[in-house]
Amino acid sequence: MRDPVQGHSVSAWVREVFRSGTVAALVMIPFGLAFRALGLRVNEYGMAVIRALFGAWPAGVRFALFAIEHFVIAWIAAVPLLLALRLAPRRASQLLLGALYGAGFYVAINSLALPWLFGDPTPWQLGFEVVAPSLVLHLAYGLSIAVTARGFVNSRTPAPAHRNARA
């Protein structure tokens, strides 16, 4: 089944969501580890969600669930960005869109929605050292997808000819 507007099959879109989302999730990890090694706050809410849902489970199981959560969120969050990237005609605009998406995701979800949900102060209230690490991670996420998906979003796969079409 093909998407008549975008020219790619649904299965091609699903593959690209998993491919780009996985790469972006992996790109975030070294940045997060570096920030954590510097004593900065990163991924507080990813772990908080797992603790809230699975607090009584052993720490190793919770860490595995956290890793799964990280990738699932990366895959889900990739969908709107991949769709939007189809509208950006040039590489520079795709990179800008990826960066804006990453920053917008951080602002909407990590700096506003999650602190509100958990009854915490926003990162903006806590200072730049709390804002910067997570913002960098989300910028890396958006830029990674813009780079990784470039071939996919710039291609236009033609629909197959109808079987009964006359030559």
Domain-embedded: residue 164: no
In a domain, 51, yes or no: yes
Q: Write out pLDDT tens, residues 114-127.
A: 999 999 999 999 99
CA-atom Rg of the chain in angstroms: 19
The answer to whether position 5 is within a domain reads no
Question: For the segment 126-152, what is each residue's pLDDT rounded down to a tens digit?
Answer: 999 999 999 999 999 999 999 999 988
Which of 136-139's residues contact partners 24+ apart within 8 Å by CB, and which partners? Answer: 136/31, 136/35, 137/28, 137/31, 137/32, 137/35, 137/42, 137/43, 137/106, 138/102, 138/103, 138/105, 138/106, 138/110, 139/99, 139/102, 139/103, 139/106
* Residue 163 located in a structural domain: no
In a domain, 81, yes or no: yes
Compute the distance between CA of residue 83 and CA of residue 13 in angstroms, rounded to an integer: 9
| Residue 21 structural domain | 10-154
Q: Into how many domains does the chain fold?
A: 1
Is residue 101 domain-resident?
yes
Q: What is the pTM of this model?
A: 0.85
Strand partners, 2: 9
Low-confidence ranges of the chain (pLDDT < 50): 3-5, 157-163, 165, 167
